[in-house]
Amino acid sequence: MAQALQPLKLLVANRSEIACRIFQTCKEMGILTVGIFTADDTEARHVTFADEVFEVRSYLDIPTILNVSKQANVKIIHPGYGFLSERPPFVKAVEENGLVFIGPRADTMLSLGNKTDAKTLAEGLGIPTLPWLVVSHQKPSESDLKKIGFPILIKAAAGGGGKGMRRVDKFTELGAAAESASAEALAAFGDGSLFLEKLVVNPRHIEVQVFGDGAGGGVHLYDRECTLQRRHQKILEEAPAPNISTKLRSQLYLASLKLVHATRYRNAGTIEFLVDPQENFYFLEMNTRLQVEHPVTEWITGLDLVRAQIQQALEPNTPVFTSSPPSLGHAIEVRIVAENPAQGFTPEAGVLEKIIWPMGHGIRVDKGIEEGQMIHTHYDSLLAKLIVHASNRENAIAKLKIALEETVILGIGTNQNYLRSLIDHPSVVAGNTHTGFLEKEFSMFAPELSPENQSLIQALLKATPSDFQPHSSSRNTRSTLSGRAFESASSNWPSPWKKQKDFPS
Amino acid sequence: MKSESHWQFDFRPGGWVIATGQTDDSSVKRKKIAFIEKNGRVYFSIDGRCWNFQKSQIALKGIGSGKAAHSIESMPTAQFPGRVRKITVQEGDRVKRGDVLILVEAMKMEFSIKAPYDGMIAKIHITEGLQLMPGDSYLDLTPLDKEPEKISR
């Protein structure tokens, strides 16, 4: 009896922005939140926002996560994306411990999570796939590869996020590329198995959000275009996909729903397709989790996908959706990452000294960071997602420009400037890109500070109080030129302020 | 009179600085800046774009990565923290520009460090598994072609 009166608790087996995102919905639903963190991640934002936190050795540490759940009386586990989100043994372990896992059943995950099994399944349903071949212990022969046709893409069977992917243009490149891809896949997913797939030149990446009730029913929640990628990492995502025919759109939805029905898919999932310039489409894989880019779908449908996920998990016999809700307008997301585009996208580490976020009509920020936080290179470089929504695509791009311009992250390098330039590119504005676009046509990103701005910054660095406008208060001067910057700046000033008692020297 | 002395700064709440300046054609410009200085580096946002430069570099003309040639291929030293996953060359090897020398893992991604020019591996300063910090030297590469233009490219 006493137990039934306790509020529901949900543990997020994840970190950073997605943990914070899930916490928000939990709080709205009156569910208590439990977070986990590693020793490298004590400063992460989700540690601040959880109702309760536990330290774990790793975000993949299943025994500790289960122990902690028992200890804290957790009922539900949300895996987020990455980490344990697509590992069937984790789903099994969670359910065997009497807990609710948010996501599909372990067996569905097993058949869909493995890309080669998923392709076989799709082929059986009459969904187009690309020519492919499993890499077994025996190295494929040259004629095997010629059957697929070059160029060929090596992919990790357990993959996602572009890890373990390599392009091979000739047979002699296969060995080295496979070795490095396998090692990367093993490190990222705990499984180094690979397969080969025909590489489509200049394709678009379009995906369909689906939601299944676990009993064979399910709906699509429209499409997203995620064509703009670097190293197979999505960088800008939008919903709906621009410039595709109604025919293609309905074909994609139909193919997706076939998979949902056939697998009796449970909860949120995403079906990824490659679309060539002639609008031929090929099933790529199904992601059996909430995607990083789910906010664009949320915005055009008005849904809270995390709420729908929790609801479906708690009431497995009641479908959350019986039909697709209407969609409205256009949404775009950009990923702000701790990478320096001007230096080959090398990771950046350091303290986030100053952050200013944009706010206002149609602007959403899903962030995993706070001002003053130390960013390490242990984890994914994603700092935050900036999402905008407007009545149409043109207005959404205009809004995204303003939102990006008001995004200030200082103390480490980010791709903010790069993203701002990207959305000025005529091909991006036209919605006419392909998955190789960023590396082929936008690789020469080399911004130059204008001479005027250069002299302005020089002037600011040398500024003395006589250059400050009379109404510039010392309070604001102090907070802007804070810390070391203030000390170094103020020590150079023959400032009368120093003589004042309340002025720190 | 130097152009920079034309700017006046208004330190606003929220961390913004408004710079007001007279340009040469005597029109008034107003710019919104956010800025910090850390370890000799300046980080700022101006005209809606974030930048960062060495403080000493900001005094130079024509700054910008276009001229700095900071591509990962041309860097003999680590530019970011990471772990050495694999060293694909040995001391004494002759390599061509663009050949992969080292694989570095950071943020769960693998980066290949390529030879910036044709050369001979004179000395390797790192071992596989080593945690690198920015500025650590990977290896010494003796150029085979001594023409300075080609080395710097």
Please give the backbone phi and psi of residue A365, each rounded to the nearest 5 degrees, phi first. -120, 120
* Angle at the Cα of A300 from the Cα atoms of A294 and A301, rounded to 5 degrees: 85
Q: What would the pLDDT profile of A121-155 be if each residue is shown by its tens digit?
A: 999 999 999 988 888 777 788 888 888 889 999 98
pLDDT at site B49: 95
**% helix / strand / coil in chain B, to the nearest 5?**
15, 45, 40
CA distance A74 to A97: 11
Task: Give A-chain residues touching B25 at CB under 8 angstroms.
Answer: none
The residue among B27 and A109 whose pLDDT is bigger is A109
Name the residue among A273, A274, A307 with its Cα closest to residue A290. Answer: A307
> What confidence tier does A500 reach under pLDDT thresholds 50, 70, 90?
very low
Q: Name which of B67, B107, B138 to mutate to probe chain A: the one with the most chain A Cβ atoms within 10 A of its Cβ.
A: B107
B53–A449 C-beta distance less than 8 A: yes
Q: Which of B36, B80, B110 sits opposite A353 (nearest CB)?
A: B36
Q: Report pLDDT for A105.
A: 97
Higher pLDDT, A26 or A497: A26
Reply yes or no on whether the pLDDT at A480 is more than 70. Answer: no
A479 has a pLDDT exceeding 60: no
Residue A218, min C-alpha distance to chain B (Å)? 34
**pLDDT band at A481; cut points 50, 70, 90:** low
Instruction: Kindly state whether A461 is in contact with chain B, defined as any CB-CB distance less than 8 angstroms.
Output: yes
> At which residue do the structure tokens 């990824």 appear?
A272
pLDDT mean over A173-198: 87
Spatial CA neighbour of A88 closest among A100, A67, A105 = A105
At A274 the pLDDT is 96
Asked if residue A484 has pLDDT above 60, the reply is no
Closest-CA distance of chain B to residue A10, Å = 27
Contacts 24+ apart (CB under 8 A), A124-130: A125/A255, A125/A258, A125/A259, A125/A262, A126/A258, A127/A255, A127/A258, A127/A259, A127/A283, A128/A255, A128/A280, A128/A281, A128/A282, A128/A283, A129/A282, A129/A283, A130/A197, A130/A198, A130/A200, A130/A274, A130/A282, A130/A284
Phi, psi for A318 (deg, rounded to 5): -115, 115
Measured between alpha carbons, how far is A192 from A174 in angstroms, rounded to an integer? 15
More confident residue, A490 or A52: A52
How far is residue A235's CA from residue A414's CA, in Å, rounded to a whole number? 13
Model pLDDT, residue A217: 96
Q: Choose among B40, B141, B19, B131: nearest CA to B80.
A: B131
Between CA A53 and CA A267 the distance in angstroms is: 26
Q: At what angle do helices A294-301 and A305-314 cross, to 10 degrees?
A: 90
- B99/B88 Cα distance (integer angstroms): 9
User: Which residues of chain B are within 8 Å of residue A413 when distances are taken between CB atoms?
Assistant: 52
Report long-range pairs for A316-322 (Cβ below 8 Å, ≥24 apart): A316/A214, A316/A266, A317/A215, A318/A213, A319/A213, A319/A215, A319/A217, A319/A218, A320/A211, A320/A213, A321/A211, A321/A213, A321/A218, A321/A219, A321/A221, A322/A217, A322/A219
Q: Calculate helix-pair angle for A16-28, A305-314, nearest 10 degrees.
A: 60
Of the candidates A164, A155, A160, the one whose C-alpha atom is nearest the C-alpha of residue A269 is A160
pLDDT tops 90 at residue A21 = yes
Apex A213 CA angle, A207 and A219, nearest 5: 40
pLDDT(A70) > 90: yes
pLDDT digits (tens, 9 = 90+) for A424-462: 999 999 999 999 999 888 877 878 888 889 889 988 888
Q: Could A380 and B108 be called an inter-chain contact, meaning their C-beta atoms sit closer than 8 Å?
A: yes
State CA B73 to chain mean position distance. 12
Tens-digit pLDDT profile for residues A367-406: 999 999 999 988 989 999 999 999 999 999 999 999 999 9
| B80/A348 Cβ within 8 A | yes
What average pLDDT score do residues A167-192 get?
87
* Residues above pLDDT 70, as percent of chain A: 91
pLDDT at A284 > cutoff 70 = yes
A281-287 and A266-275 strand pairing? antiparallel
Distance of alpha carbon B59 from the chain centroid: 16
Half-sphere exposure of A54 (CA within 13 A, CB side): 22
H or E stretch including A197?
Answer: strand A194-198
Kindly state the tokens that stand for A209: 């959000």
Between these two residues, A476 and A180, which has the higher pLDDT value? Answer: A180
In this predicted structure, the answer to whether residue A332 has a pLDDT above a threshold of 80 is yes
Per-residue confidence (pLDDT) for residue A491, from 0 to 100: 43
Picking from A247, A244, A174, A199, the residue whose alpha carbon sits closest to that of residue A432 is A244
pTM of the model: 0.81
| Three-class secondary structure of residue A505 per DSSP | coil
Chain B nearest-CA residue for A473: B11
What is the pLDDT at residue B74?
Answer: 39
Q: Which residues of B touch A453 (CB under 8 A)?
A: 31, 46-47
Q: Which residues of chain B have pLDDT under 50?
A: 1-4, 61-62, 64-75, 146-153
| 8 Å CB contact of B85 and A183 | yes
Mean pLDDT of A351-364: 97
End-to-end CA distance of chain A: 63
How many other CB atoms sit within 10 Å of the CB of residue A288?
A: 27
Partner B, chain A 360-389, Cβ-Cβ below 8 Å:
376-381
How would residue A498 be classed by pLDDT, with cut points 50, 70 and 90?
very low
Among candidates B23, B72, B109 on the partner chain, residue whose Cβ is nearest the Cβ of A343: B72
Which of A172-176, A325-329, A387-391, B102-106 bottoms out in mean pLDDT, i.e. has the lowest? B102-106
Mutate which of A377, A415, A445, A490 to test chain B, going by most B C-beta atoms within 10 A? A377
Inter-chain Cβ pairs, chain A and chain B, closer than 8 A: 210
Name A155's bridge partners: A195
Query: DSSP labels for B71-120?
Result: -GGG-SB-SS-EEEEEE---TT-EE-TT-EEEEEEETTEEEEEE-SSSEE
Report CB contact under 8 Å: B72, A467: no
Q: What ipTM describes this predicted complex?
A: 0.85
Indicate whether A250 pLDDT > 60.
Answer: yes
